[in-house]
Amino acid sequence: MSRHYTVYRVAFWVPAAAQQRKSVAARPGHESVATTVEIGVTSGMARNSQIPPVLFDRALLHARQRRARAQGEVTFLLDRVAEDMSDRLAAVMREFHAPADLWTPGDGLTALRSRLPTIARIEPDATGAETLPFAPESLDLVVSALALQFVNDLPGVLAQVRRALRPDGLLLAAMIGGDSLTELRQAFAAAEAECEGGMSPRVAPFADLRDIGALLQRAGFALPVTDVDRVVVRYGNAFALMQDLRRMGAANVLIERRRTPSRRATLLRMAEIYAERFADADGRIRATFDIIWLSGWAPHASQQQPLKPGSARASLAEAVKKAGKTES
């Protein structure tokens, strides 16, 4: 199956305090933008719920990933992330002696083994449990590739990783998020509404950049950095895309998914709508994958700290006034 790729580089979401020597830089071509940090969780996520909602059937996810691996999995996204992760770690001027790979599917991050020969690979629990087998302050690096998008309690998992890291330890992960598969989501919604008079959950909800940045801070990470790598893949039709998703082990695992087979008429209409709305001039359709990169450090006294409010020695207002007088 032939695929065509178009890559877009999307701006950083970087808190000002993260701009120092230990922040994990994105690959060349990204633009760094400072913005206001919003503490908490946005976009409809529960703010104070003690029990996180169960969205994903993680036992089914584990079974499907194993089946995809046995049948010959599609790895082009994972290969891209592994290469990018190797580049990002190469920019960190330090050695890691207690690294762990958290839940990366397939063969894991084999590209990192030359630099991290002692990396421990943590497989997903076959029952779907999200409790991590790490002792407090036992690791100095945790990496994860294309796994965290299927976590039910992402705040809880990030908090567990934070506790497992030694002071000045690093979390570096990539997950699917943002507008990923928005074309497939829209095509299915329109087809089901037209053919069946309603809609069923087809594509998983994905966290956006601000959600992830806020969750890193909520978990207690210092110097959090997030950015997006947008990959647009072109296919001959929607069914070729769906076949790739199955061979990634990434088909629908939502708890509220439809349990009966889809109607043939609905599937055919979905493919037609997809082609009508999201095809290029040559007839090939586009599929968007937003890969959200996140990194954060366990707090340590050596890290750069933000200045205390009111500690500035110069007045911005006075500087603006002087600049105005100079121009006049």
Residue 320's DSSP bridge partners are none
- Give dist(CA 93, CA 294) in Å, integer: 18
| Strand ordering across the sheet containing 285-297 | 4-13, 222-235, 285-297, 165-177, 139-145, 99-102, 120-122
Lowest mean pLDDT: which of 77-91, 140-154, 298-312?
298-312
Model confidence at 22, pLDDT cuts 50, 70, 90, reads very low
Cα Dmax for the chain: 74
Tokens of 181: 């598969």
Report phi then psi at 321, rounded to 5: -60, -45
Region 147-156: what's the mean pLDDT? 95
> pLDDT above 70 covers what percent of the chain?
81
User: How long is the chain?
Assistant: 328
Tokens of 225: 């950095």
Report phi then psi at 241, rounded to 5: -60, -45
Q: For strand 222-235 and strand 285-297, is the pairing parallel, antiparallel, or unpaired?
A: antiparallel
Lowest mean pLDDT: which of 92-106, 202-216, 269-283, 302-316?
302-316
Judge whether residue 246 has pLDDT over 60.
yes
At residue 11, the 3 state secondary structure works out as strand
pLDDT at res. 252: 84
Condensed to tens digits (0 to 9), the pLDDT of residues 94-123 reads 999 999 999 999 887 888 988 999 999 999
Condensed to tens digits (0 to 9), the pLDDT of residues 183-238 reads 999 999 999 999 988 777 888 889 999 999 999 999 999 999 999 999 999 999 99
Model confidence at 259, pLDDT cuts 50, 70, 90, reads confident
b/e per residue, 208-239, with b = 16+ CB within 10 A?
Answer: bbbbbbbbbbbbebbbbbbbbbbbebbbebbe
Superfamily for domain range 4-327: Vaccinia Virus protein VP39 (3.40.50.150)
Model confidence at 34, pLDDT cuts 50, 70, 90, reads very low
Judge whether residue 85 has pLDDT over 80.
yes
